[in-house]
Amino acid sequence: MKNQDILKKYLAHNDNVRVVICDVTNMVKEIRMIHNLSNTVTVALGRVIAITTIMSSLLDNKEDRLSIQISGNGPVGNIITCGNYNLEIKGYVSNPEIELKNVNGKYNVAELIGQGMLTVIKDIGLKEPYIGKCKLLTSQIAEDFAYYYLMSEQTPSIVSLGVNLDKFGNVLKASGYFIQPLPDCPSEIIDTLEKANKDIKSVTSMMMDLDNMLDVAKVITADNNVKEIYSKAPKLLCDCNDIRIKNAIISMGYKEAKNIIEENNGKIEIKCNFCNKVYSFNENDINSIFKNEGN
């Protein structure tokens, strides 16, 4: 299917506020197929994919990348996503097929994830990656990231994330938006933003009603003069490759690799968690990998 996902950035209220809006419907459809996700996991991981895409678009440099880990005590286990400056996104969860009963007609994402921590790791070319951590507030994802921004950047950001499924569980819409007052933003503008967002029930229904993303930007900022400053198509893309997997085998060590070969009918199979691609190596492959290493 043609990828029609899109992410746009805007400035509002005379450049005092930045806004990011994304439609990641196709990515969520695709990741659901790759991992055979249950409905509830589709909603949970879909929300995380939306915020990962948004946060990736806020990276400053071509080489920058980030990773998000949501580790709760709920049945889904860990949720891991990665994104980079080019908006190439990947993700997986520990237990993709777990399904929970809906509560009041809503997917029970909070119980699926449980209580725990949210970790953001940013590799922005410094010696050490930047690591930000905070407790999960509601485990509904959007509130947790709003809290993360409040704690890590001391800004009252607004985060809204949504995944709509039809009654058969098909993904109708997956989207999100992020609003952040820039430094020295007057407090009246922050009040206006909060008022504008109080009555918005669901980002996905708004995205379905308003075909035009610019109209969405106007509604969520209560500013008719928002201006678009960036537009890019995000995509689901795994960057695993032969070299990376071979390096993983090298770091395992020759002895350990030989042991696995012996116990596993003459081959080592390594599956990429993100895209499920299986890399298979036989004894000759292993010998030549370590020969090239000079062992």
Closest to Zn ion by CB, 222 or 275: 275
Helical axes 242-252 vs 254-263, angle rounded to 10°: 100
Verify binding: residue 274, Zn ion, rule CB under 5 A.
Answer: yes
Verify binding: residue 275, Zn ion, rule CB under 5 A.
Answer: yes
CA atoms within 13 A of residue 208's CA, in its CB half-sphere: 13
Verify binding: residue 272, Zn ion, rule CB under 5 A.
Answer: yes
Task: Give the C-alpha separation, 122 to 133, whole Å.
Answer: 11
Task: Give the C-alpha separation, 281 to 262, whole Å.
Answer: 12
Closest to Zn ion by CB, 58 or 240: 240
Q: With contacts defined by CB under 5 A, how many residues of the chain interact with Zn ion?
A: 6
Q: Are 277 and 238 in contact (CB under 8 A)?
A: yes
230, amino acid identity = Y
Q: Which residues contact 55 (CB under 8 A, 6 or more apart)?
A: 66, 68, 83, 120
Q: Which of 14, 6, 67 is nearest to 227 (CA)?
A: 14
- Choices 95-103, 174-182, 210-218, 274-282; region in contact with Zn ion by CB under 5 A: 274-282
Verify binding: residue 34, Zn ion, rule CB under 5 A.
Answer: no
Closest to Zn ion by CB, 133 or 277: 277
Q: Which of 76, 7, 88, 3 is nearest to 44 (CA)?
A: 76
Closest to Zn ion by CB, 85 or 274: 274
Closest to Zn ion by CB, 203 or 238: 238
- Choices 99-107, 170-178, 183-191, 277-285; region in contact with Zn ion by CB under 5 A: 277-285
Verify binding: residue 58, Zn ion, rule CB under 5 A.
Answer: no
- Choices 47-55, 63-71, 119-127, 236-244; region in contact with Zn ion by CB under 5 A: 236-244
Q: Are 21 and 175 in contact (CB under 8 A)?
A: yes
Shortest distance, position 274 Cβ to Zn ion, whole Å: 4
Residues 240-259 touching Zn ion, rule: CB under 5 A, are: 240
Paired residues of 281 in beta bridges: 268
Shortest distance, position 115 Cβ to Zn ion, whole Å: 30
Q: Are 164 and 204 in contact (CB under 8 A)?
A: yes
User: Beta strand pairing status for 65-72 and 116-123?
Assistant: antiparallel
- Choices 119-127, 140-148, 175-183, 230-238; region in contact with Zn ion by CB under 5 A: 230-238
Closest to Zn ion by CB, 43 or 87: 87
How many Cβ atoms sit within 10 Å of the Cβ of residue 170? 12
Closest to Zn ion by CB, 87 or 236: 236
Task: Give the C-alpha separation, 243 to 292, whole Å.
Answer: 12
Residue of 136, 238, 245, 286 that binds Zn ion (CB under 5 A): 238
Verify binding: residue 237, Zn ion, rule CB under 5 A.
Answer: no
Positions that interact with Zn ion (CB under 5 A): 238, 240, 272, 274-275, 277
